[in-house]
Amino acid sequence: MEPGRFVSYVFVYLGILWLVEYAVFYPLQFGFPDVMYLGGGIFFTWFGLYRRLKPETHEKHPKEHGIESYGFALIALVLTVIFLLQLL
């Protein structure tokens, strides 16, 4: 799997995790959704889908593309671990 596709899936996964956590579990605990995290979930889901579905309009050097993509993936995975730890 190419790095760009992996990053898109990570962003979509992170966005859906945020949406489920703060649109379902947060209201059950506190009675109202947290709008900031709900917006974050929507943004990450949209950004992941946009990265996945947008046409490539310019050619990048493969090494640059890989570094950029793996950097985004690392950030998204760290954020995912933080949110999973919050569920404990």
**pLDDT tens digit string along 40-55?**
677 777 777 666 666 5
Share of the chain above pLDDT 70, in %: 42
For the chain, the structural domain boundaries read 3-87
Q: Distances in Å between the alpha carbon of 68 and those of 30, 47, 73?
A: 38, 15, 9
DSSP H or E stretch at residue 37: helix 35-53
Q: Which two tokens stand for residue 6?
A: 């992996």
Q: What is the largest CA-CA distance in the chain?
A: 49
* pLDDT band per the 50, 70, 90 thresholds, residue 15: confident
* pLDDT band per the 50, 70, 90 thresholds, residue 72: low
CA atoms within 13 A on the CB side of 85: 6
Q: Which two tokens stand for residue 76?
A: 């998204």
